[in-house]
Structure 1
Amino acid sequence: MNSHRTPLFCDTELAARIERVETELIGACARAAHRRIADGRGFVLPLAGGLASFADDDSPYNKVVGLGFGGVPTAEELAEVEHAYANCGAPVQVELSHLAGPEFATLLTERGYRLESFENVLGVALADKYDVAVPDGIAIRRSGDDEFDAWLDLMADAVAAPDTQGVPWREEFPRDTYIAAERDASTADIIRYVALRDGAISGGAGLRTSEGIAQFAGAATSPAHRRHGIQSALLSVRLADAAAAGCDVGVITTQPASKSQQNAQRSGFDLLYTRAVLVKHPESA
């Protein structure tokens, strides 16, 4: 990367655009889960420019996203959301950008929400075109529906053995839950990629584009193939594809101080903002 490049500055307008795209993604995944399960329990409720979503028991899509850029929710709106989660026996998990108005954290804290973790949103201003850099012995290609099950198995195995650098994820999901969530995500216009090292499937990743934002989603490498440049190769190919799709900003969400964050920053991504994860459990709802 160019050491003299200007870091991407994130103002509230850009943060709002990123959060809208994230809201769109979570809503699409949750609705896919509702179609898959069809038990009538799930919900997607609009909330102050964002949404509250319950997809399935223990789903990673059970969360409140996109708050802070479309007005402040009323006490009645929050009570409705809290009641909906309580009926499902689930906590209310709010992912709140630190660029949201300070009144949001005060409002949620007063209602019994507790800070449980953080996640970082990193971004890069995309160039018009990229030269793809892939090490010898590694190939990256798009992954079609014909190998979806193999892609799912690879991703599930890789996620089950995460790198231990940095702050760990607040939640861990059983394999079946992870696979179901990825099946739901496959309906949300995510392009899948597979990495091969010496001909063996060794890694995978996703890319979704909306509103000029490229979301770099779900990259993972099998433990036996780590530290060989696969993550960087997957990112290089997706950067080129995002630029070709006309996107101007790419984003990655990572845990603080993680290997994923380190790799992203080495590839030119800048820390844009942090999301605080504030949780209210059913017993206090």
Structure 2
Amino acid sequence: MTIERTPLFCDTDLAQRIERAETELIEATALATHRRLDNGRGFVIPLAGGLASFADDDSPFNKVVGLGFDGVPADDVLDEIEHAYAGVGAPVQVELPHLADPEIGIVLSRHGYRLESFENVLGIAIADKYDVTLPDGIEIRPSGDDELDLWLNLMADAVAVPDTQGVPWREEFPRDTYIEAERDAAAADITRYIAVLNGEIAGGAGLRTTGGVAQFAGAATLPGHRRRGIQSALLFTRLSDAAAAGCDVGVITTQPASKSQQNAQRSGFDLLYTRAVLVKPV
């Protein structure tokens, strides 16, 4: 008898948990950047249950996250946030879940924000335990601090040749910017993994757990090793580790209709909600 899997339903409480985890990740990474640079330009400002973060010029962690579940930002508070970003010459980028208070979108529109893109948040109910049997020739192992530079360069090499299926990422970052951003993210309690295929390093991934939420913090396979089961091996290894850490839900962020989204849904993830990316230029 085949038992059909019940899709994971996302209510506002679950969305708030996921957004809180995302807010913690962005804050920890931005603060790590501030410590590394020590130039006094960065900021992390609380905002209506979320925060506004500026890490460094062109950093992927320059954004407003976590809005939607703890009130609507007042006009004067938004003005202060916008002045802070203007002071460092950066646009204001807000990632707003479609499950957020609709009034926030109205307020942002009144302030001159424009819709530029979307990203999807997918989730899976994590089982109590996983029996992970990897295909022959594939090994997934933790990657320690002694090989951080190896892991960073591996990930940079892999993401430099992305899959082209679906809606492309709105932003592209120079290699050095990407590596330094990932280096700072390592300070946010992200566990790193390396995939080995027939003795050769083939890919890598990250996992962060907090408050019962497992964040699948990026996974990449080198072009020459794609379509060989690396992504699935990385995914199920991390699911097993998330279960062992006591997590009840796992989340991954993808571009709409991308290969990453397709692979995640084939592996049991469900589309939970979409974030609208709204931007106010400098």
Q: TM-score range by the shorter chain?
A: over 0.9
Structure 2: gaps of 5 or more residues: none
Question: Matches of residues 29-108 of structure 1 in structure 2 within 5 Å?
Answer: 29-108=29-108
**Counterparts of 2:36 and 2:240 in 1: how far apart (Å)?**
33
**Counterparts of 1:165 and 1:127 in 2: how far apart (Å)?**
30
Question: Matches of residues 1-285 of structure 1 in structure 2 within 5 Å?
Answer: 4-282=4-282
Return the offset for 1:94. Answer: 0.1
Return the offset for 1:146. Answer: 1.2
Maintained 8 Å contact 1:165/1:257? yes
Name the aligned partner's letter for residue 76 of structure 2: E
**Counterparts of 1:26 and 1:3 in 2: how far apart (Å)?**
39
Say if 1:263 and 1:133 are closer, same or farther in 2 by CA, change over 3 A.
farther
**Counterparts of 1:40 and 1:150 in 2: how far apart (Å)?**
30
Matched residue of 1:187: which SS?
Answer: helix
Return the offset for 1:133. Answer: 3.2
Structure 1: gaps of 5 or more residues: none
Q: Deviations over 1:194-216 (max 9, x none)?
A: 00011111100000000100000
**Counterparts of 1:134 and 1:122 in 2: how far apart (Å)?**
24
**Counterparts of 1:60 and 1:3 in 2: how far apart (Å)?**
41
Return the offset for 1:218. Answer: 1.2
Structure 1 stretches of 4+ moved >4 Å: none
Return the offset for 1:101. Answer: 1.2
**Counterparts of 2:44 and 2:148 in 1: how far apart (Å)?**
27
Q: TM-score, normalised by structure 2?
A: 0.99
Give the aligned length: 281
Matched residue of 2:187: which SS?
Answer: coil
Q: TM-score, normalised by structure 1?
A: 0.98
**Counterparts of 1:140 and 1:261 in 2: how far apart (Å)?**
22
Alpha-carbon RMSD: 0.8
Maintained 8 Å contact 1:130/1:240? yes
Maintained 8 Å contact 1:67/1:96? yes
**Counterparts of 1:154 and 1:183 in 2: how far apart (Å)?**
12
Return the offset for 1:3. Answer: 6.2
Identify the range of structure 1 (130-139 vs 263-272) with the bigger mean alpha-carbon deviation: 130-139
Maintained 8 Å contact 1:123/1:269? yes
Say if 1:10 and 1:39 are closer, same or farther in 2 by CA, change over 3 A.
same
Name the aligned partner's letter for residue 165 of structure 1: Q
Maintained 8 Å contact 1:194/1:201? yes
Matched residue of 1:153: which SS?
Answer: helix
Name the aligned partner's letter for residue 221 of structure 2: T
